[in-house]
Amino acid sequence: MSIPFLNLKEINLRYQNELRQCFERVLDSGLYILGKEVSNFEEKFAKYCGAGYCVGVGNGMDALHLILRGYQIGKGDEVIVASNTYIANWLAVTYAGALPIPVEPVLDTYNINPQLIEEKITKRTKAIFVTHLYGQTADMNPIINLAKKYSLKVIEDAAQAHGAKYFSRKAGNLGDASAFSFYPGKNLGALGDGGGITTNDASLAERLLMLRNYGSNIKYVNELQGFNSRLDELQAAFLSLKLNTLDALNNERTKIAEFYLSELRNVNSIVLPNKLENFDHVWHLFVIRTQNRDQLIDLFNKNDLGYLIHYPIPPHLQNAYKDLHFVEGDFPIAEKIHREVFSLPLWPGMPPAHCEKIIKLLKSA
């Protein structure tokens, strides 16, 4: 029995009739960019997160970048980032013209270590990017306190954390502004690219509405040097529909994760993910760690089982950042994580027999 890493088609086929109706509705509307579907979704998603505003954009990377532009963070500024994050928020910082300042994560949770941030703050620091990696939020209270002390913006990268909670508040409503990706494989995924920004800051939201649309609110009148990054009507219609069942899908993910956690707890050669109390993990990914990753890769390949590595190379060692002159050993915790992580298959609707097969194999190995 071959097992995929993720079965997106199966997830979306659950909604096939309603998705077709969404398509018909958008087709019939004759309005395909920035119409009612986008504004309806924005309102619904802001409410879901508990935030005042949502601005739909083209993808998650643009969401991160536009937040920086919205706060006029750019050349000469520094932005704190995690050393082990997905590269998108480093790219957003450099795209805006600012400098990413990496901070090591907590090995136990893979999220940025609040204790290590203060020593990296300088006069040029403007913001702290906080990625909620794999579906569990970072420890936000100490980060928010630091940000208040130094007047910094806290920007969430919530691309992997739709519906995750930190002491009963949802990701997307924990910092000054939050970036979401609706890439098809995300917990709330479109059928193409999509992104969104949530915030309680009315003036930021107003700037973002212009920045995503050539810097313009009134056709052919340009207030700002903006971009073209709009969530499209069709994706917004799909996302509004799928948002209705996001919590149910997250619960399905949680059940599978709990099954893995209980069945694998005595397998000594792997480190299981650590779900913290008062944090509602939404299990975007189920990431284990092992010092024998090559053996595990062989085993999964031989048995035709899906897996992915999130991520094999930390941003500071990517060729893309060779001009920052980092070398191996600069961020040992991030490097260890990137060397040892291994993501097991997990998706809503994954058959229990699939989990059982993976568990059996890991136990026997």
Ligand X SMILES: Cc1ncc(COP(=O)(O)O)c(C=O)c1O
Cβ at position 250, least distance to ligand X in Å: 16
- Per CB under 6 A, the list member of 83, 111, 113, 131 interacting with ligand X is 131
- Per CB under 6 A, the list member of 163, 172, 175, 195 interacting with ligand X is 195
Say whether residue 59 binds ligand X (CB under 6 A).
Answer: yes
Amino acid of residue 203: S
Cβ at position 193, least distance to ligand X in Å: 6
Q: Which of 246, 41, 231, 254 is nearest to 136 (CA)?
A: 254
Measuring CA to CA, how many Å separate 179 from each of 76, 195, 209?
A: 23, 7, 14
Residue with tokens 């494989």: 185
Q: Which residue's CB is nearer to ligand X, number 285 or number 355?
A: 285
Q: Which residue's CB is nearer to ligand X, number 89 or number 125?
A: 89
Measuring CA to CA, how many Å separate 149 from each of 98, 118, 153?
A: 21, 10, 11
Cβ-contact 46, 53 below 8 angstroms? yes
Which two structure tokens, joined as six digits, stand for 294?
Answer: 């090559």
Cβ at position 292, least distance to ligand X in Å: 26
- Per CB under 6 A, the list member of 41, 55, 60, 340 interacting with ligand X is 60
Q: Which residue's CB is nearer to ligand X, number 79 or number 362?
A: 79
DSSP 38-81: HHHHHHHHHHHHT-SEEEEES-HHHHHHHHHHHTT--TT-EEEE
Measuring CA to CA, how many Å separate 268 from each of 190, 262, 273, 276, 338?
A: 38, 13, 13, 21, 20
Residue nearest to ligand X (CB): 60
Cβ at position 343, least distance to ligand X in Å: 12
Say whether residue 187 binds ligand X (CB under 6 A).
Answer: no
Say whether residue 84 binds ligand X (CB under 6 A).
Answer: no
Q: Which of 279, 252, 254, 347 is nearest to 308 (CA)?
A: 347
- For ligand X, the binding residues in 151-180 under the rule CB under 6 A are 157, 159-160
Q: Which residue's CB is nearer to ligand X, number 183 or number 259?
A: 183
Cβ-contact 82, 107 below 8 angstroms? no
Cβ at position 233, least distance to ligand X in Å: 18
Q: Which residue's CB is nearer to ligand X, number 156 or number 354?
A: 156
Cβ at position 184, least distance to ligand X in Å: 9
Region binding ligand X by CB under 6 A among candidate stretches 22-30, 57-65, 101-109, 167-175: 57-65
Amino acid of residue 147: A
Given the rule CB under 6 A, which residues bind ligand X?
A: 59-61, 86, 88, 131, 157, 159-160, 181, 183, 193, 195
